[in-house]
């Protein structure tokens, strides 16, 4: 195990803390809270076995209303798998202490009073090709407030890590420590915005980082900080933040294409010469700003001395000083004064790469909350984009007018469309992927709706399956089986209907019409075997099946039970969850957020109101609370 030094030393526990971070995010976020795997420092490595999601959920439930995570932490540390993990650290009390402190940071995120939560965003998908994490305000945060529990820890990068960690985005340059550091913990999920509403501050002298609101942050607003002025290329010209989008700058600016082609050739030549000099053995980072020697040419391409180039990190954030006058961090000068700030977001190889734009890109640039509240928000690439340079295509795609423009459609409307389409047995218009079809609902059909509603009600009273929770659907969706004859019967009925018009299957969730989603045998897939006969790249459509009221008496949301297959997923929000978990499984729910909280807090959410003295004002505005009031109805399908 690497030797431990103080945070100010050249080598600290970055390797260990990054391993801890990966381990903790797997067991405390990916496994039970989140619907995408969060980015890992060591994406390839397999973390040790941790406690099961059910165990952690039980712990969280037991301590959900605690004002401090201390009891939760000790219960967590007492779990057998955590104990055996800690046993491996017994030789180093300091490492053990760091693990405990880091676990506390992640566990604290589950306190009911925490004013933020993690969400997902598709904003950066055009570049990163994946959903990314973002941090959203759960309640109003006044300006100047330190955002409770949105914290992290900076650890200096050891030379091994410097070479080993090829691409980790949470590397920051600390002026105080004079070193590149890894930032780990919940605050590493905060994204950059050119007009941020918060900023990083240092807390104490041990590399602990917090986030302070610099203006009032509204409920559901994303919490953002400014990494640096030149973090995403010169003047952040690759920045994809909402502010740049609004102002038509950065990634969305008209000059970007011209610049990026120049930059491409410049950086290619810089890279070539850099490659030669990088054969040397020096990997140590600069210890202060004055060490870095860099300049910019007229094209905005930063040129480094050989030495600076050797030390360049691909991406770095900058930690600002604290708002108080006694700052442990010297006020940063210009971000560009350090060579690390010249991070080329689009590497040469990336720019050369031919873009493979999916022909169906949805929900671009919005977050989980948006998705929950705005049931549809679609950017549809009208046709597959053909070979061109990456920057060009990305630009074209991003310039499409409907980016970020919500398209509102009520679930009921979607369902009506679905019913009408299915009843008609065919579509009278060409419906392309991603396009929303329109049709008239026949009078005959409308009369039938009432009958079907009644029919559904009758059936529902006979069903015995208990309401579902996140833990149930999370455990192993593929193991989930239909658990009542009534369900199976309904499913059969639905399947028959689908098979009557096999070319057209409708996903009642997201209003998508799909063709040809039937197996080789011409039947709708009913089990894993059927599913495996289907091509991977097809969206498998989940027929709506049965709705059920949430067991929480304070929640009016309905669970939707359905059965489906697998498929690719381009969406976040509830839909992503739905697709991720129910594509294979028999069970799905309507609102991921409601269900997630239900799973974690054991339907205790409304009890927040009993903590009147503390949170009564905020509770009213709390988006989770609000979300739980969302009524989703799909009942008219039968």
Shortest CB 208 distance to ligand SAM, Å? 17
Distance CA 573, CA 571 (A): 7
Distance CA 492, CA 504 (A): 17
Neighbouring residues of 464: CB distance < 8 A, sequence distance ≥ 6: 484, 486
How do 208-213 and 179-184 pair as beta strands?
unpaired
C-alpha 123 chain-centroid distance = 10
Contact 232/238 with Cβ under 8 angstroms? yes
Residue 433's φ and ψ, nearest 5 degrees, are -55, 130
Shortest CB 314 distance to ligand SAM, Å? 9
**Residue ranges in 180-239 that form contacts with ligand SAM under rule CB under 6 A:** 188-189, 191-192, 232, 239
In the numeric block, which tokens belong to residue 354? Answer: 């031919």
Of the candidate residues 99, 124, 510, 603, the single one contacting ligand SAM (CB under 6 A): 124
| Structural element, H or E, at residue 561 | strand 558-562
Shortest CB 168 distance to ligand SAM, Å? 9
DSSP bridge pairs for 152: 209
| Structural element, H or E, at residue 265 | helix 256-277
Shortest CB 468 distance to ligand SAM, Å? 28
Nearer Cβ to ligand SAM, position 38 or 513? 38
Contact 473/581 with Cβ under 8 angstroms? yes
Tell me if 318 contacts ligand SAM by CB under 6 A.
Answer: no
Shortest CB 329 distance to ligand SAM, Å? 18
Of the candidate residues 19, 57, 133, 158, the single one contacting ligand SAM (CB under 6 A): 133
In the numeric block, which tokens belong to residue 296? Answer: 């910019």
Nearer Cβ to ligand SAM, position 169 or 329? 169
Nearer Cβ to ligand SAM, position 111 or 184? 184
Distance CA 634, CA 410 (A): 11
Which residue is listed with tokens 């949430």? 550
Shortest CB 229 distance to ligand SAM, Å? 12
Nearer Cβ to ligand SAM, position 124 or 545? 124
Neighbouring residues of 53: CB distance < 8 A, sequence distance ≥ 6: 27, 31, 32, 471, 474, 475
Shortest CB 347 distance to ligand SAM, Å? 12
Neighbouring residues of 267: CB distance < 8 A, sequence distance ≥ 6: 301, 344, 347, 348
Of the candidate residues 6, 67, 128, 299, the single one contacting ligand SAM (CB under 6 A): 128
In the numeric block, which tokens belong to residue 173? Answer: 């340059």
Distances 308 to 278, 335, 339 between C-alpha atoms, Å: 11, 15, 6
Look up residue 125 and give its DSSP letter: H
**Residue ranges in 296-315 that form contacts with ligand SAM under rule CB under 6 A:** 315
| Structural element, H or E, at residue 116 | strand 116-121
CA angle 316–24–137, rounded 5-degree value: 65
Nearer Cβ to ligand SAM, position 241 or 592? 241
Collapse the DSSP code of 371 into the 3-class scheme (helix H, G, I; strand E, B; otherwise coil) and give the result: helix
Nearer Cβ to ligand SAM, position 14 or 170? 170
Shortest CB 581 distance to ligand SAM, Å? 20
Shortest CB 188 distance to ligand SAM, Å? 5
Shortest CB 42 distance to ligand SAM, Å? 14
Tell me if 132 contacts ligand SAM by CB under 6 A.
Answer: yes
Nearer Cβ to ligand SAM, position 539 or 576? 576
CB atoms closer than 10 angstroms to residue 426: 9
Distances 548 to 344, 391, 468, 633 between C-alpha atoms, Å: 50, 47, 9, 10
Nearer Cβ to ligand SAM, position 128 or 428? 128
Nearer Cβ to ligand SAM, position 119 or 437? 119
Distance CA 397, CA 507 (A): 26
Mask 146-175, x = binds ligand SAM (CB under 6 A)?
Answer: -----------------------xx-----
The footprint of ligand SAM on this chain (CB under 6 A) covers a number of residues equal to: 17
Nearer Cβ to ligand SAM, position 49 or 130? 130
* 3-state secondary structure labels for all residues of 308-326: HHHHCCCCCEECCCCCCCC
Tell me if 370 contacts ligand SAM by CB under 6 A.
Answer: no
Nearest of 243, 136, 237 to residue 190 by alpha carbon: 136
- Strands (E) located in 409-549: 505-507, 512-514, 544-549
Look up residue 238 and give its DSSP letter: T
DSSP bridge pairs for 118: 135
In the numeric block, which tokens belong to residue 602? Answer: 């054991």
Nearer Cβ to ligand SAM, position 169 or 445? 169
Nearer Cβ to ligand SAM, position 227 or 603? 227
Shortest CB 315 distance to ligand SAM, Å? 5
Nearer Cβ to ligand SAM, position 170 or 230? 170
Residue 533's φ and ψ, nearest 5 degrees, are -75, -10
Shortest CB 254 distance to ligand SAM, Å? 18
Distance CA 121, CA 131 (A): 6
Shortest CB 558 distance to ligand SAM, Å? 31
Nearer Cβ to ligand SAM, position 266 or 315? 315
Shortest CB 149 distance to ligand SAM, Å? 17
Shortest CB 14 distance to ligand SAM, Å? 16
Of the candidate residues 109, 240, 550, 583, the single one contacting ligand SAM (CB under 6 A): 240
Nearer Cβ to ligand SAM, position 170 or 517? 170
Shortest CB 447 distance to ligand SAM, Å? 50
Contact 123/203 with Cβ under 8 angstroms? no
Of the candidate residues 31, 56, 208, 241, the single one contacting ligand SAM (CB under 6 A): 241
**Residue ranges in 432-461 that form contacts with ligand SAM under rule CB under 6 A:** none
Mask 10-49, x = binds ligand SAM (CB under 6 A)?
Answer: ----------------------------xx----------
Kindly list the residues in this chain that would bind ligand SAM in the complex (CB under 6 A). Answer: 38-39, 124, 128, 132-133, 169-170, 188-189, 191-192, 232, 239-241, 315
């Amino acid at each position: 195990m690497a030797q431990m030094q103080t945070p100010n030393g050249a080598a600290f526990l970055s390797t260990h803390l990054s391993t801890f971070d990966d381990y903790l995010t797997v067991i405390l976020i990916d496994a039970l809270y989140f619907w995408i795997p969060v980015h890992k420092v060591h994406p390839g490595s397999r973390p040790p076995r941790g406690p099961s999601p059910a165990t952690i959920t039980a712990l969280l439930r037991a301590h959900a209303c605690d004002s401090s995570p201390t009891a939760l932490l000790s219960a967590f540390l007492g779990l057998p798998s955590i104990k055996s993990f800690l046993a491996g650290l017994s030789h180093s009390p300091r490492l053990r202490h760091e693990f405990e402190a880091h676990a506390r940071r992640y566990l604290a995120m589950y306190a009911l009073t925490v004013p933020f939560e993690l969400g997902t965003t598709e904003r950066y998908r055009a570049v990163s090709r994946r959903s990314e994490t973002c941090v959203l305000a759960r309640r109003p945060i006044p300006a100047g407030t330190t955002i409770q529990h949105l914290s992290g820890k900076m650890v200096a990068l050891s030379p091994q890590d410097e070479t080993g960690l090829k691409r980790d985005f949470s590397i920051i340059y600390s002026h105080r420590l004079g070193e590149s550091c890894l930032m780990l913990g919940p605050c590493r999920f905060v994204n950059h915005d050119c007009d941020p509403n918060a900023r990083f501050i240092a807390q104490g002298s041990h590399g602990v980082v917090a986030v302070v609101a610099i203006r009032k942050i509204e409920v559901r607003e994303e919490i953002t900080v400014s990494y640096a002025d030149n973090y995403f290329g010169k003047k952040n010209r690759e920045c994809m933040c909402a502010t740049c989008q609004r102002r038509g700058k950065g990634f969305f600016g008209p000059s970007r294409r011209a610049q990026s082609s120049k930059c491409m050739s410049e950086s290619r030549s810089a890279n070539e010469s850099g490659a030669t000099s990088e054969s040397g053995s020096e990997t140590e980072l600069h210890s202060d700003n004055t060490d870095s020697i860099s300049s910019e040419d007229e094209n905005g391409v930063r040129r480094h001395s050989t030495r600076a180039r050797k030390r360049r990190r691909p991406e770095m954030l900058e930690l600002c000083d604290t708002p108080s006058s006694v700052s442990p961090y010297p006020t940063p000068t210009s971000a560009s004064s350090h060579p690390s700030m010249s991070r080329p977001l689009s590497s040469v190889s990336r720019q050369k790469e031919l873009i493979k734009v999916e022909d169906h890109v949805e929900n671009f640039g919005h977050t989980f909350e948006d998705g929950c509240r705005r049931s549809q928000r679609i950017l549809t690439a009208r046709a597959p984009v053909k070979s061109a340079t990456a920057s060009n295509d990305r630009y074209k795609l991003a310039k499409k007018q409907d980016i970020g423009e919500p398209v509102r459609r009520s679930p009921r409307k979607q369902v009506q469309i679905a019913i009408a389409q299915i009843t008609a047995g065919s579509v009278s218009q060409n419906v392309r992927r991603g396009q929303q079809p329109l049709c008239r609902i026949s009078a005959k059909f409308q009369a039938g709706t009432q009958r079907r509603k009644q029919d559904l009600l009758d059936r529902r009273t006979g069903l015995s399956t208990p309401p579902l929770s996140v833990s149930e659907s999370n455990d192993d969706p593929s193991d989930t089986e239909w658990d009542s004859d009534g369900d199976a019967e309904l499913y059969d009925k639905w399947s028959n209907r689908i098979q009557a018009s096999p070319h057209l299957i409708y996903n009642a969730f997201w209003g998508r019409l799909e063709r040809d989603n039937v197996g080789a045998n011409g039947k709708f897939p009913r089990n894993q075997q059927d599913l495996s006969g289907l091509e991977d790249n097809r969206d498998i459509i989940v027929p709506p099946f049965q709705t059920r009221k949430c067991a929480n008496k304070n929640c009016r949301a309905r669970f939707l039970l359905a059965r489906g297959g697998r498929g690719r997923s381009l969406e976040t929000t509830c839909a992503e969850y739905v697709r991720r978990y129910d594509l294979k499984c028999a069970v799905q729910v309507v609102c991921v957020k409601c269900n997630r909280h239900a799973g974690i807090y054991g339907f205790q959410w409304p009890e927040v109101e009993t903590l009147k003295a503390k949170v009564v004002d905020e509770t009213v505005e709390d988006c989770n609370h609000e979300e739980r009031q969302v009524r989703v109805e799909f009942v008219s399908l039968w």
